[in-house]
Chains A and B, each alone.
Chain A
Amino acid sequence: MSVDIALSVTTGMGIFFITHVAVWRILPSGSPRIGLLSGMAAMGVVISLFTVLLVGGLLPEIFAVVSIDFLLVVLYLFVYAGVARSVSLTLVARLLVEPGHTVVFGTLLDEYTSSSRFEDRLRLMGESGLLLVSKDRVDLTVKGVRMARWARFLGRTMGDGLAG
């Protein structure tokens, strides 16, 4: 029973991870491509499902396989989002290359202020249809206004506000 579940999950999620690494290495991009990654994850879940059906899994086993896959996909998407976009991870990775793993705050601030990270966020949100970015001005689109209102509402309801 548990062997069937482990085999099915490993097969589906293994193929998903290998495909992800292969595609990202062959076709690197400046965009995080979360949509494409989610599609690949869905493919992995379908492969797991086929595998558990192939080994004759019963209903509770099928349910377990899909649920475990879902948990692993959610976990992986969060780890990936952090790896791709986390400012905190960039900070610790930045310290790694410094002698003694230490740096003065002003140096970090200068690097961040002069880098194109802010522009990069604006570009990505522009590509997602949330912003209209012109040479020296940024405006919310209708979709962007809707998203911002939702974020503000959820920030007040669920968390401790949107600190950024």
Chain B
Amino acid sequence: MIQLTELARMVVTPFVVLATLIGVIALQRGWQVLMNRTLRVNGPGPAAASLLVFGVIGVGVLWEATAQMGWPGDELVSLRTGVVALYAAGWLVYVEVRSLLSRGYSLRILVDLLELDGGAGFEDLKSGYGEGMGVRGLLSKRIEGLERIGLIRCTADQIGPLTSVGRLVAHVGYGMRRLLRLEVVG
């Protein structure tokens, strides 16, 4: 039999997770802006580190908050599992939206068009992709990213070879594309 107080506590829980998520996102953004403006610390490395650290801080906050909700032992474990999973899902959405905004191919095309008064000739749009960086810039940016995370090694104009992790990622990705019969890819 579900008690009314239990139900009320349960209804409140997702809002506690949401409030924590919003608070931690605001802190992480604030920290990143502060580091950028005062110490000129920016780029993907420090951003990834701050995302990890602030993400873990949020888990700690929720761990303590759930202890105050008065659930008995076994149920507290289930509740904490759910709270951490829900928070992690929200944090993942935040990280992915950031990544999409930073590297989104399609979104960049939309913004390029907006900055060209809403329309452009096909060839102009293609050659001017990403504020003029074009396909060359698009590829260079991704190759730099792949090298930075250790999937490939590059020397001058030569792209590759793949590292062992790079080979694994390539095999898994290619395998999934074949499994799902994805013929039109990025």
- Chain A positions within 8 Å of B, measured between CB atoms, are 1-2, 5, 20-21, 24-25, 28, 30-31, 58-61, 63-68, 70-71, 74-75, 78, 82-93, 95-96, 98, 100-106, 108-109, 112-113, 117-118, 120-122, 124-125, 130-131, 136-140, 144-145, 147-149, 151-152, 154-155, 158-164
Contacts and interface: CB of A to CB of B under 8 A. Distances in A.
A57 to B, nearest CB: 8
Range of interface residues on B (Cβ < 8 Å) = 35 or more
Interface of B: 2, 6-7, 10, 13, 29, 42, 47, 71, 74-79, 81-83, 85-86, 88-89, 92-94, 96-98, 101-114, 118-123, 125-126, 129-131, 133, 135-139, 141-143, 145-146, 151-152, 157-162, 166-167, 169-171, 173-174, 176-177, 179-186
Task: Give the dominant DSSP class at A's interface.
Answer: helix
A106 B157 contact: yes
29 contacts: A1-B77, A1-B78, A2-B77, A24-B181, A59-B75, A61-B75, A63-B10, A67-B81, A71-B92, A82-B173, A83-B176, A87-B142, A91-B139, A95-B161, A96-B167, A96-B170, A98-B160, A101-B160, A102-B158, A109-B135, A121-B105, A121-B109, A136-B122, A140-B113, A145-B114, A147-B110, A154-B101, A163-B103, A164-B129
